[in-house]
Structure 1
Amino acid sequence: MVKKDNRLTSSQSFACVAFAGFLSKSATSPLEVVKIKSQVGTFHSKGGFLQSFVRIYQNEGLRAFWKGNFASCLRLFPYTAVHLSTYRNIVHLHMDELGFISQWRAIFAGGLAGVAAALATYPLEVAETRLVIQNCREPTYVGVFRTISKIYGSEGLLALYRGFSLTVLGAFPFSVGCYAAYINLDKLWQEPAFRFTPLQNFINGCLAAGVAQTLSYPFETVKRKMQAQSARLPHCGGVDVHFSGMADCFVQVVKNKGILSLWNGLTANTIKIVPYFGLLFTCFEMCKQVCLYRNGYIVSPLSYELTPGVDQSLRPYELEEVKRYLKNRDFGSEESSLGNRW
Structure 2
Amino acid sequence: MGGVTRDHRLTYLQTFTCTTTAGVTSRTLTAPLDVVKILSQVGTRETKQGFLKAFVNLYQSQGLRAFWKGNLIGCLRLSPFSTIQFSAFYKFKSKLADENGRMSPPKALLAGSLGGMVATVVTYPTDMVKTRLIVQSTDKRKRRYRGIVHAFKLILKEEGLLAFYKGLYVSLLGSLPFSACTFLIYELLDSIWDCPRYMLTPAQNFFNGCVAAAFAQTLSFPFDTVRKKLQAQSFVMKNGGGVDIHPFRGMIMAFRKTTDMYGMKGHWRGNAANLCKIIPYAGLMFMTFEACKRGFLFQNGYTQSLSDDTPLPGVDQTLKPDEVASYMPR
TM-score by length of 2: 0.95
Q: Where does structure 2 lack aligned partners over 5 or more consecutive residues?
A: none
Task: State which of 213, 223, 231 in structure 1 corresponds to 2:235.
Answer: 231
Shift of 1:278: 0.3
Q: Within the alignment, does 1:302 sit opposite 2:304 as a pair?
A: no
Match of 1:71 in 2: 73
Deviations 1:24-82 (A, max 9, x none): 10100000000000000111111000000011001000100000001111111110111
Instruction: Work out whether residues 108 and 172 of structure 1, in 8 Å CA contact, stay in contact via their aligned partners in 2.
Output: no
Shift of 1:193: 1.9
State the AA in 2 paired with 1:31. Answer: L
Instruction: Work out whether residues 221 and 262 of structure 1, in 8 Å CA contact, stay in contact via their aligned partners in 2.
Output: yes
Distance 1:209 1:230 in 2: 31
State the AA in 2 paired with 1:94. Answer: L
Instruction: Work out whether residues 39 and 225 of structure 1, in 8 Å CA contact, stay in contact via their aligned partners in 2.
Output: yes
Q: Secondary structure at the match of 2:86?
A: helix
Identity %: 44
Distance 1:40 1:231 in 2: 15
Match of 1:247 in 2: 252
Q: Within the alignment, does 1:25 sit opposite 2:27 as a pair?
A: yes
State the AA in 1 paired with 2:213. Answer: A
Match of 2:273 in 1: 268
Distance 1:110 1:168 in 2: 13
Deviations 1:145-202 (A, max 9, x none): 2211211111100000100001110112111111111111122222222222211111
Distance 1:256 1:60 in 2: 26
Counterparts of residues 94-133 of structure 1 (less than 5 Å)? 94-133=96-135
Distance 2:4 2:105 in 1: 22
Match of 2:182 in 1: 178
Q: Secondary structure at the match of 2:267?
A: helix
Distance 2:328 2:30 in 1: 43
Deviates more, 1:254-263 or 1:155-164: 254-263
Task: State which of 22, 41, 44 in structure 1 corresponds to 2:43.
Answer: 41
State the AA in 2 paired with 1:24. Answer: S
Q: Within the alignment, does 1:10 sit opposite 2:17 as a pair?
A: no
Deviations 1:112-135 (A, max 9, x none): 111100111111101110011111
Q: Within the alignment, does 1:168 sit opposite 2:172 as a pair?
A: yes
Distance 2:280 2:133 in 1: 23
Shift of 1:99: 3.0
Q: Where does structure 1 lack aligned partners over 5 or more consecutive residues?
A: 328-342
Distance 2:48 2:203 in 1: 37
State the AA in 2 paired with 1:146. Answer: H
Match of 1:89 in 2: 91
Distance 2:149 2:204 in 1: 40
Match of 1:158 in 2: 162
Larger of the two Rg values belongs to structure: 1
Distance 1:279 1:132 in 2: 23
Q: Secondary structure at the match of 1:109?
A: helix
Shift of 1:100: 3.2
TM-score by length of 1: 0.92
State the AA in 2 paired with 1:211. Answer: F
Moved over 6 A (4+): none
Deviates more, 1:27-36 or 1:238-247: 238-247
Q: Within the alignment, does 1:217 sit opposite 2:227 as a pair?
A: no
